[in-house]
Structure 1
Amino acid sequence: MSQTNQPVATGRCPDCEEPLETGDMFCGACGYDLTALPAPQADHPTVAVNGAAAAASWPAPPAPGGSASVQAAADLPGTTSGGTELPSAVRTDDPPGPDDYPLPDPRTVEHTPAGGTVLGAGCVACRSGRIDEDGYCENCGHAQPRERDHMEEELGAVAAVSDRGLRHHRNEDAYAVSSTALPDGSPAVIAVVCDGVSSATRPDEASAAAAVAANEALLASLPLGTHPQQAMHEAILAAAESVNVLGAEPGQALEHDPNRHTNAPACTLVSAIVAGGLLVVGWVGDSRVYWVPDDRTAHPSRLTEDDSWAAQMVATGLMNEEQAYADERAHAITGWLGADAYELEPHTASFKPDRPGVVLVCTDGLWNYAEGAEEMAAVVPADAATRPLHCAQVLVGHALDGGGHDNVTVAVLPFLVPQTGAGSA
């Protein structure tokens, strides 16, 4: 990827975290060169995964500010991405200190109803205190398991599992899975996964709002015949707007102003649509989509590129991948949804797999324990396409067995290659 010399937007230095001013070329505190930024990219057209592709049957989706064709491309292994790179301002997705303390596994205790009634041994931490109406122990103050601590859902052609993990005190991930029908009656299957930015305020609300908004936007537009890639683009904008609303000050008009809305609610988003023989992905942030073919002799692929400090260092040639991801700043994100985010241009990409497989839509709570596509594929059960919920459970269990240091969410969408003539508009 080529580099361009341009001033960084207002934010913090990627090296020392000192505040920056609009137009700064170098950090005034440490001298860090802020001009090496990746060149903007356009949305990728339809490409093949593990084989040649036929042209999509939908009309070409209009690109922001102009038109772009959805055209076939030859075999393109590995990572693909689209959209415009966000500025190099960063946010850390690490939780504050108080959020990082161990609690017993919430799946081994019963949920406590409102009103302070003690169930079983009472508090899951001290085993003796009563639980108040807000869900905290009156004796030791520990938060009790919440409804979102562990969630599972299966809708036939898609399944998702989300878990709080073993160190966070709450689950700040959210998901939405659904299906609808295209105008020709063929199915469209949707998965949206969001990861709240733990250093922001109300990250759990941000992820929930974004997941709901994106899912509702897709359910509204796909049945009308909107090209899935265009629908995905619009859904991410709708999700961003829903998170912006959370950051609006009472009595003030909603504004997208990163300087005004400091530390506003924020989250990342990744989504996938399987419809009419196409696989369309969209994202902002560092949650990912992986493609794992049923034929394990074929190569799996990661279909997204992270909006992260590490990815930016690799893209600009300042570090190799091993060095960047070993750095403690690796998971500082450079793109997110929220009122304090910079100008947003969603990443979207469209693929036409030539063989059956499964699509994994996940947060970094999972891929931290299986980062490479081959590593991820090694964890996926052989019967994933026929048992997507079981596959999601296995993947979440893999992350928990690895340490469960973050919230873990994954959605699994089986992909079946349509018969000749299927999926035509």
Structure 2
Amino acid sequence: MAQKHQPAAGSTCPGCDEPLEPADRFCGACGYDLSAVPAVSPDRPTVAIGTRVEWPAATGTDTVGTPTPTQRAADVPGTDSDGGELTLPDAAPGVPPQPSHAPTVGVSGGGNQRPAGEPGAASGQAGGPVRAAGAPPAGGPAGHAGSGHGSFSGPGAGPGFAPDHGHERPAAEGPPVPAAGPAAGASAVPAAGAQPQGATGREDHERAGDGVSPAAAAGPGPVPGGGQPPASGMRFDNPPSGDFELAAPVPGAPDPRAAAAQPAPPPAPQAAAKVCVACRAGRVDDDGYCENCGHAQPRERDHMEQELGSVAAVSDRGLRHHRNEDSFAVSSTALPDGSPAVVAVVCDGVSSATRPDEASAAAASAANERLLAALPRGTHPQQAMHEAIVAASEAVNCLAEQPASSEGDDPHRHQNAPACTIVGAVAAGELLVVGWVGDSRAYWVPDDRSGPPARLTEDDSWAAQMVAAGLMNEAEAYADERAHAITGWLGADAYELEPHTAAFKPDRSGVVVVCTDGLWNYAEGAQDMARAIPADAAERPLHSAQMLVGHALDGGGHDNVTVAVLPFTVPEQGAGSA
């Protein structure tokens, strides 16, 4: 039956520290139930803290009686702590080879040991204890153990004690084993299986010359399973099986260390992160949106500008369309007589057709390349313009035979042929040539504004046909919802290709405005275009093109806007007569 806890004399209440009597079951001050207080355990630690523990002496062998293997510094080629060479000397006949520094007799805690064979080194004595050469015999004065100078021998070197840094500690038990007599000219070597006198069975801090283990003292012997004994004092319980041997290097193979030593190539420089054009703070991700404000960033074709000498062009997506389906090309070349020829081509993709952006880009590029190839050969500019429009039509027709490259195109959706319009102008000498198909236009605006501006092209559209037939006036025709329905275009589904070309010889200098309907919808008449273009357009063509695009955007920007400004210079009368 368990007994209830009784408070000890002189104890206090755990709740309020009130003194208690041995017979109290409850605290008189706070009512604490003293029976709930556990009794103090009578157990005590087995070993008191601070009590010195006597550890058993080391035996020099493992649990199965095998001598502990020891590898000494002299087993590895090099130098010892004294700077001496660790080489194997010539051994006498019948004596197995040993390291050049034979084990010294005794252990010196802090001094430098002399190898056997040198003055002051130990030499073996047959049938008697081993002592240092030149030292007094056993029983005479011995070196000071632990003093750090000389070898230790004599009575103090017997079994039972081995000096180590001036402290005595137990040594391996057993009587001394007489060493074999030294051979002529050879260092004294302990007998096989003998343990040097004064050597301990367990060395806590072993150094070269501090003694040898029984395995090392036994010297090399036969290895189980045959083969040559190891050069060191290591003991092999099993013969080498070759499972972990390294394969010999293949002759002529590259050294893997040389490849590893080669410096790694420097990392490729990272492209600078794009900054949002709206907030000017957020970074643009791979999808083209700002990570800060979420604004969609303009694509490459959303706004394009190019200036080449005296000709410039600007194209913009506008404010209502999701992509820019217009394209342009500007270039210059030389005629056979060396005079310059400047080219400007503008194309407008048909929105109701498939891949209109690809059609406009292909047409502008093909027409420009054909003009640059024909004009230097001496082809008449008007004929070259006709050939350029035909080449542009063929390039657009080829797109109908190619699969759609846009990721958003549905392969099961009905697709018509890509289509676009085109207008181009060439300033070659005193001749100004224009060519077109569709409703893209070219305007002439003189520099001094003294002469009237003019529209140089006629639209291939429903409104133009109504006006030409006299069924409507121009105002009524372009007010109709069918006004911009084109009757001519470049594409595989065009009824009949009829390139329009015209040649002019202006009598004064001015500029040619080559544009799509995204601009002329906000400056339809020639006078409207003359008012929209800056007065210094001939001197600043790029700035003038930018101003015209801005004029369309300010008017609403319902369509893509593309305009090229091509200055045309007429030499003054008598300027070169002098």
Q: What is the TM-score with the length of structure 2 in the denominator?
A: 0.48
Question: Following TM superposition, by how much is the alpha carbon of 1:298 offset from its aligned partner in structure 2, in angstroms?
Answer: 1.1
1:353 alignment partner, SS class: coil
**Which residue does the alignment assign to 2:397?**
244
Mark the CA change 1:108 to 1:275 in structure 2 (over 3 Å): closer, same or farther. farther
**Which residue does the alignment assign to 2:198?**
none
Choose the corresponding residue for 1:266, options 384, 407, 419. 419
CA deviations 1:375-423 (Å, max 9, x no partner) are 100011111000000000000000000000000000000110046799x
Q: Compare CA radii of gyration and give the structure with the larger one.
A: 2
1:193 alignment partner, SS class: strand
What letter corresponds to residue 394 of structure 1 in structure 2?
A: M
Mark the CA change 1:161 to 1:279 in structure 2 (over 3 Å): closer, same or farther. same
Task: Assess if the C-alpha contact under 8 Å between 1:165 and 1:407 holds in 2.
Answer: yes
Task: Assess if the C-alpha contact under 8 Å between 1:262 and 1:340 holds in 2.
Answer: no
Choose the corresponding residue for 1:361, options 514, 518, 538. 514
Choose the corresponding residue for 2:498, options 341, 345, 354. 345
**Which residue does the alignment assign to 1:395?**
548
What letter corresponds to residue 123 of structure 1 in structure 2?
A: G
1:376 alignment partner, SS class: helix
**Which residue does the alignment assign to 1:213?**
366
Q: Which has the higher contact order (CA 8 A, sep 6+)?
A: 1
Mark the CA change 1:421 to 1:338 in structure 2 (over 3 Å): closer, same or farther. farther
TM alignment of 1:217-236, pairs within 5 A = 217-236=370-389
**Which residue does the alignment assign to 1:373?**
526
Task: Assess if the C-alpha contact under 8 Å between 2:285 and 2:291 holds in 1.
Answer: no
What letter corresponds to residue 162 of structure 1 in structure 2?
A: S
1:271 alignment partner, SS class: strand
TM alignment of 1:122-133, pairs within 5 A = 123-124=294-295
Task: Assess if the C-alpha contact under 8 Å between 2:303 and 2:314 holds in 1.
Answer: yes
Distance 2:348 2:331 in 1: 18
Question: Over aligned residue pairs, what C-alpha RMSD do you find?
Answer: 2.2
2:301 alignment partner, SS class: helix
Distance 2:468 2:360 in 1: 28
**Which residue does the alignment assign to 2:559?**
406
2:450 is the alignment partner of 1:279: no
Distance 2:548 2:277 in 1: 16
1:280 alignment partner, SS class: strand
Question: Following TM superposition, by how much is the alpha carbon of 1:116 offset from its aligned partner in structure 2, in angstroms?
Answer: 4.0
Higher strand share: 1
2:344 is the alignment partner of 1:153: no
Choose the corresponding residue for 2:453, options 297, 300, 312. 300
2:347 is the alignment partner of 1:183: no
Mark the CA change 1:207 to 1:117 in structure 2 (over 3 Å): closer, same or farther. closer
**Which residue does the alignment assign to 1:323?**
476
1:148 alignment partner, SS class: coil
Mark the CA change 1:262 to 1:147 in structure 2 (over 3 Å): closer, same or farther. closer
CA deviations 1:326-381 (Å, max 9, x no partner) are 00000000000000001212000000000000000000000000000001000111
Question: Following TM superposition, by how much is the alpha carbon of 1:114 offset from its aligned partner in structure 2, in angstroms?
Answer: 7.4
Distance 2:288 2:534 in 1: 41
2:326 is the alignment partner of 1:173: yes
Q: What is the TM-score with the length of structure 1 in the denominator?
A: 0.65
Question: Following TM superposition, by how much is the alpha carbon of 1:123 offset from its aligned partner in structure 2, in angstroms?
Answer: 3.0
2:296 is the alignment partner of 1:121: no
Distance 2:344 2:524 in 1: 20
Distance 2:486 2:310 in 1: 31
Mark the CA change 1:109 to 1:337 in structure 2 (over 3 Å): closer, same or farther. farther
What letter corresponds to residue 295 of structure 2 in structure 1?
A: V
Mark the CA change 1:316 to 1:116 in structure 2 (over 3 Å): closer, same or farther. closer
Task: Assess if the C-alpha contact under 8 Å between 2:354 and 2:415 holds in 1.
Answer: no
Distance 1:313 1:107 in 2: 45
Distance 2:401 2:477 in 1: 35
Question: Following TM superposition, by how much is the alpha carbon of 1:203 offset from its aligned partner in structure 2, in angstroms?
Answer: 0.2
**Which residue does the alignment assign to 2:443?**
290
Aligned residue pairs: how many? 289
Distance 1:371 1:288 in 2: 10
Distance 2:324 2:419 in 1: 14
Mark the CA change 1:117 to 1:209 in structure 2 (over 3 Å): closer, same or farther. closer
Distance 2:351 2:522 in 1: 19
Task: Assess if the C-alpha contact under 8 Å between 2:331 and 2:342 holds in 1.
Answer: yes
